[in-house]
Structure 1
Amino acid sequence: MDSLLAAIAAKAPALRERGAEIERLGRLPEDILEWIYEHRLFKLLVPEEFGGRPTPLPEMLRIFEELSAVDGSLGWLVHIGAAGGYFAPSFAKETARELFTPREAVIAGSGYPAGRARRVPGGYRVSGRWRYASGAQYATLFTANAILEEDGQEVVRAFAFTPDQVQIIEDWGAYGLKGTASNSMVVNDAFVPESRAFTVGNVRWAVTEPVAAALYRLPFEILAVTTIASVSIGLARRFFELARELPRWETLGTRQRQADAVAEYRGLFYLLAERAWSHVQAGAEFPATEKEVIIQGVRRLVSASVAAVQDVFAYMGMRVLWETEPINRVYRDLQTASQHIFLRPPETGA
């Protein structure tokens, strides 16, 4: 992990210089993608035997945080691409080897069941349209949930599609994370063999590598909420780094304390991550009550971090409104990343 963080730190100045370019292009330039492949950043949840570099959850989150502090779109895309490795043991082992071993293997897709599937000999026929397939630009595999009618009941199954089965609709129009190519994907009556249908979180073969095995014991909701939150944690931290460099910072008075609050929230976030990791390392079943405590805790910390940034942004003057200013892009990226449904804060009542 230290070598990865060192590589990110060394590359950070050059990558930050490319932020406006990434936003203008609406995707990652090819040389940055090559840098990601070189360091296997999309393979942080892939077993070593498939060419991965499985990384303990707390360390993985720091990698995503650092990348997000460099550029929001970059951090978002790496966390999304890496998280797809969680699906590896949900396929038969030889299928997983085929799908995840290539150097450039990476998944894009959606967890929302916006498709329909029906059984046919040898597999399924699947159709649907799913939004927000971040990283569709370079994905080697697309995954999505669909409703399958089975034994008179509707169940949710996940399906993996090859790029030639997917049509990308370039409709990503958010005002932040513009470089993520989070476009819609359309599948029209595609045949998916049984080998590429799976259930998220269902481990189908014994994973013997200790770190990879522990990663796959994480409840999917824990993995999702912590990795998604790490992007917002990195962006909130970067906002205050940039705010301190502006003349208006000296006029904020007690509002400067919001930077300390965000640093405290970051520390608490990693305590929750360590807490989750300790459970899966022990190999015991993850307690349902503990899972809920961690999920709600992470959501509250992200919500509080966003509120702190909004409070300060309102008093930073006209300069931060210019889209060409790095602090403006960070603010927009944070607002967009924190809207993810997994980060929806708990209801507080009327």
Structure 2
Amino acid sequence: MSSGIATTPAAAETDRTLLESARRIAAGLPARSLDIESAGTLPPDLVKEFTEHDLFRLAMPTELGGTGASPRAIVEIIEEVSRGDGATGWSLLIGNIGNAFLAWLEPEVARRILAETPDLIVAGGQAPLGQAVPKPDGTGYTLTGRWPFGSGSLHAHWFMGGFIVMENGRPKTNQWGAPVMGVAHFPADRARIDDTWHVAGLQGTGSHDIVAEGIDLPLAHTSVPYFERAKYDDPLYRLTAYNLLLTVMSGFPLGVARRALDEARLQFADRKLLSSGTSYLEDPAVQVAMLKHETALDAARRHLLDTVDELLGALAEDPLDYAARARLAAAVIHVYDVGRELVQGLFRLAGTAAVLDTNPLQRCMRDLVAGSQHVAFSFDSRKRIANARLGLQTAPAFFGV
């Protein structure tokens, strides 16, 4: 099925140029992984290189200065960078998600922010963990909140954070009795970063807590991306915010899992069996395990990319129902599940050599398992997606498909 995306020579060349840049940068990442992990964040030269090649603008609407990369190319670019280093790939995808959410602001507001900070990178999240108290004159809010897991916070220029509107000390509710929520966008120098990121996996992402304490938040710097799609014509914006987020995230497990396969093949070829003197890779049990994992990853990747193309093609003609749109979220979750099983299986297969900090297989396992813990792949998210896929969802759901 067609993706409904114009594949002009210029568009194809844009995708090729961006992918080539990503591959060139990714080629140098394995040698830097330990340093990135030790620093706990991306080095400035790497942030600059991504910026210079527009790799933080992959998912931004073209009207706001985005690259116009196809959704398939976005998946492949994140995949390539994540194959080089998981933490770097994660930081890149989070920066792209942050910039993509500018699409839910009024266009003139987003353009003004971008004009003031042309190399903008946005970090933060959409979970409504903040409290916004309306100002008496109706021009905005006083915002207080703490948002954990702020990946990329140490190199971001702006932050975003979800909030609940407060009224008389209690959450304000809408006509259905649900809390009134939104997402705040504010300059990084108006907030504080608390050093909380001491973790097993994705150590190099700088995912510290972002803290706002009574900051002034203009009404124009708020959005409500939870239920409605953004009003842009780019194919990616045919998706809901949740499905857009998942699409940008989907290249990460593909790349990390592929790197684990690469490393396993090299390590198992060098390792000798004491009983026979032959390489570990010649052991039939190892071969069967490698075949199983590689085939599962290839199948999950193909299913994901086909689903992206099919859904975007269908959405070009019809908004579709929740059940149809849930296919994409299910495909992304499946990729994460397959990738996690793969890295854990190869880690076990590698034996005691894999426990060393210097072994990339260990880092692949830690990074992919950590990424899989994201709330987007939680049981509650899976339950919501299953509900939609089975045709049981009849109204818009919070951050739904």
Give the partner amino acid of 1:106: I
- Give CA-to-partner distance per residue, 1:224-252, whole Å, 9 cap, x none: 22222321111111111110001344331
Establish whether residue 178 from structure 1 lines up as the match of residue 213 from structure 2: no
Corresponding residue number in structure 2 for 1:116: 131
Gapped runs of 5+ residues in structure 1?
none
Establish whether residue 302 from structure 1 lines up as the match of residue 336 from structure 2: yes
RMSD value over aligned CA atoms?
A: 2.1
Distance verdict in 2 for CA 1:87–1:256, change over 3 Å = closer
Distance verdict in 2 for CA 1:300–1:89, change over 3 Å = closer
Secondary structure, in 3 states, of the residue corresponding to 1:41?
Answer: coil
In the TM superposition, residue 270 of structure 1 has moved relative to its aligned partner by 1.3
Secondary structure, in 3 states, of the residue corresponding to 2:38?
Answer: helix
Establish whether residue 250 from structure 1 lines up as the match of residue 282 from structure 2: yes
- Give CA-to-partner distance per residue, 1:159-205, whole Å, 9 cap, x none: 1111122110010122111110000011111110111011116567x
Corresponding residue number in structure 1 for 2:118: 103
Q: How many residue pairs end up in the alignment?
A: 342
Secondary structure, in 3 states, of the residue corresponding to 1:189?
Answer: strand
Structure 2 counterpart of 1:261, from 296, 301, 323: 296
Secondary structure, in 3 states, of the residue corresponding to 2:100?
Answer: helix
Structure 1 window deviating more from structure 2 (236-245 vs 324-333): it is 324-333
Percent identity at matched positions?
27
Asked if the contact 1:37/1:103 (under 8 Å) is kept, the reply is no
Give the partner amino acid of 2:257: A
Corresponding residue number in structure 1 for 2:82: 68
Give the partner amino acid of 2:121: V
Give the partner amino acid of 1:104: D
Distance 1:134 1:320 in 2: 26
Corresponding residue number in structure 1 for 2:313: 278
Asked if the contact 1:237/1:263 (under 8 Å) is kept, the reply is no
Structure 2 counterpart of 1:224, from 245, 260, 267: 245
TM-score after normalising by structure 1: 0.91
Asked if the contact 2:229/2:241 (under 8 Å) is kept, the reply is no
Distance verdict in 2 for CA 1:283–1:193, change over 3 Å = farther
- Give CA-to-partner distance per residue, 1:301-321, whole Å, 9 cap, x none: 321231133223212121111
In the TM superposition, residue 26 of structure 1 has moved relative to its aligned partner by 0.6
Secondary structure, in 3 states, of the residue corresponding to 2:310?
Answer: helix
Distance 1:43 1:3 in 2: 14
List structure 1 runs of 4+ shifted beyond 6 angstroms: none
Distance verdict in 2 for CA 1:331–1:249, change over 3 Å = farther
Gapped runs of 5+ residues in structure 2?
1-14, 174-178, 272-279, 387-401
Distance verdict in 2 for CA 1:301–1:9, change over 3 Å = closer
In the TM superposition, residue 13 of structure 1 has moved relative to its aligned partner by 2.7
The structure with the larger Rg is 2
Distance 1:127 1:344 in 2: 26
Structure 2 counterpart of 1:145, from 162, 166, 169: 162
Secondary structure, in 3 states, of the residue corresponding to 1:306?
Answer: helix
Asked if the contact 2:61/2:100 (under 8 Å) is kept, the reply is no
Distance 1:279 1:66 in 2: 28
Corresponding residue number in structure 2 for 1:161: 186
Secondary structure, in 3 states, of the residue corresponding to 2:129?
Answer: strand
Asked if the contact 1:110/1:144 (under 8 Å) is kept, the reply is yes
In the TM superposition, residue 118 of structure 1 has moved relative to its aligned partner by 1.2
Structure 2 counterpart of 1:135, from 152, 161, 173: 152
Establish whether residue 59 from structure 1 lines up as the match of residue 73 from structure 2: yes
Distance 1:342 1:73 in 2: 18
Give the partner amino acid of 2:202: L
Establish whether residue 334 from structure 1 lines up as the match of residue 368 from structure 2: yes
Asked if the contact 2:300/2:331 (under 8 Å) is kept, the reply is no
Establish whether residue 288 from structure 1 lines up as the match of residue 322 from structure 2: yes
